Amino acid sequence: MKKEVLFIHSAGPQGHHEGSDYLVTYLLNTLQHYKVLHPKMPDPEHPTYQSWKAAVKEEMAGMHEGTILIGHSLGASVLLKYLAEEKAHKPVAGLFLIGAVYWGKEDWDVEEYMLPENFSSKLSDVGQIFLYHSKNDEVVPITHMHYYANELPTARVREFDDLGHLFGKGLPELIEDIKSI
């Protein structure tokens, strides 16, 4: 059986060459021996946590033990909040957060997306955690990754100089990290 990868995309337009399309295409092309799922999320241009949480919950219900979870931007913070609030049905092999927003910091005060206190202590069903962010991210400042790194001291941190927010050039380090699990 192929290992499962669940990718949750960013907010905003999700057409060809928009939003997380670059990352989805890259994953599909480089992880051909994996089952890569990338569901459409509800109303990505006007997302709400509750609707995305319901979609993640539905996807997670059908996943096997050892699934790999990847989130980009809003998708990353939604996955993390979901895992901090809900008991995973089955252990997760790895959580990969790309350009994740740390809600509650630097004018990103949208309460519905904020993590619960001590969220890191609620991730016992998650094997390894990886953080990826680019210094020249034009949407989410690199400081958001630093906030996560402080809260998740065992996370592996990957910082880049020039990959922007969409990681349109690909992310070989992500593929290497996925294959290391």
pLDDT at 88: 73
Instruction: Name the CA radius of gyration of the chain, rounded.
Output: 15
pLDDT at 109: 87
Kindly report the average pLDDT of the chain as a whole number.
95
Give the C-alpha separation, 92 to 97, whole Å. Answer: 14
Domain count, the chain: 1
Could you give the angle at the alpha carbon of 129 between the alpha carbons of 15 and 115, nearest 5°?
A: 75
Residue whose token pair is 């400042």: 141
Percent of the chain at pLDDT above 90?
Answer: 90
pLDDT tens profile 53-97? 999 999 999 899 999 999 999 999 999 999 999 977 789 999 999
pLDDT at 105: 86
pLDDT tens profile 100-113? 999 998 789 899 99
SS3 24: helix
Domain extent at residue 134: 3-179
What is the rounded average pLDDT of the residues 159-165? 96
The CATH number for 64's domain is 3.40.50.1820
Helix (H) or strand (E) holding 149: helix 143-151
pLDDT at 87: 75
Name the token pair of 170. Answer: 């690909």
Could you give the angle at the alpha carbon of 141 between the alpha carbons of 139 and 146, nearest 5°?
A: 145
**pTM for the full predicted model:** 0.96
pLDDT at 107: 85
Contacts of 12 (CB under 8 A, 6+ apart): 18, 19, 44, 45
